[in-house]
Structure 1
Amino acid sequence: MWEERYSNPGYVFGTEPALFLTDHAEIYQPGQTALCVADGEGRNSVWLAQRGLDVTALEYAPSAVAKARRLAQSQGVSLTHVQSDVFAWDWPEGGFDHVVAIFIQFVGPSPRADLFRRMKRAVKPGGLVSLHGYTPKQLEYGTGGPSAVENLYTEAGLQTAFQSWQIEVLRSHERHLEEGPGHSGMSALIDLVARRPGPG
Structure 2
Amino acid sequence: MDWNERFSGEEFHFGEAPAAFVRDHLGGLGAGAHVLTIAEGEGRNAVWLARQGCRVTAIEPTGTGREKAMALAARHGVTMEWRQESLESYGWPSNGFDVVLGCFFQFADPRLRAEILAGMARTTMPGGTVFLHGFSTRQLGNGSGGPRSEPNLWTPDRLLPAFPGWQVVRAEDYDAVLDEGPGHSGPAALIDVIVRKPGRP
TM-score (norm 1): 0.97
Q: How does 1:90-101 map to 2 (within 5 A)?
A: 90-101=91-102
Q: Which runs of 5+ in 2 are unaligned?
A: none
Residue 132 (1) aligns with residue 140 (2): no
Instruction: State the Cα deviation string for residues 130-149 of structure 1 (Å, max 9, x = none).
Output: 00001011110121011100
Amino acid at match of 2:171: L
Larger CA deviation: 50-59 vs 88-97: 88-97
Q: How many residues are paired up? A: 200
Q: CA deviation at 1:122?
A: 1.0
Q: CA deviation at 1:89?
A: 1.8
SS in 2 for 1:70: helix
Residue 161 (1) aligns with residue 162 (2): yes
SS in 2 for 1:47: helix
Q: Which residue of 1 aligns with 2:24?
A: 23
Q: Which residue of 1 aligns with 2:146?
A: 145
For residues 149 and 21 of structure 1, the distance between their equivalents in structure 2, rounded to whole angstroms, comes to 24
Q: CA deviation at 1:163?
A: 2.9
Q: CA deviation at 1:164?
A: 2.4
Q: Which residue of 1 aligns with 2:43?
A: 42
Q: Which runs of 5+ in 1 are unaligned?
A: none
Q: How does 1:1-200 map to 2 (within 5 A)?
A: 1-200=2-201
SS in 1 for 2:126: strand
For residues 109 and 149 of structure 1, the distance between their equivalents in structure 2, rounded to whole angstroms, comes to 10
CA contact (8 A) 1:28 1:48 kept: no
For residues 153 and 164 of structure 1, the distance between their equivalents in structure 2, rounded to whole angstroms, comes to 20
CA contact (8 A) 1:129 1:194 kept: yes
For residues 157 and 91 of structure 2, the distance between their equivalents in structure 1, rounded to whole angstroms, comes to 29
Q: CA deviation at 1:26?
A: 4.4
For residues 163 and 154 of structure 1, the distance between their equivalents in structure 2, rounded to whole angstroms, comes to 16
SS in 2 for 1:167: strand
Identity %: 43
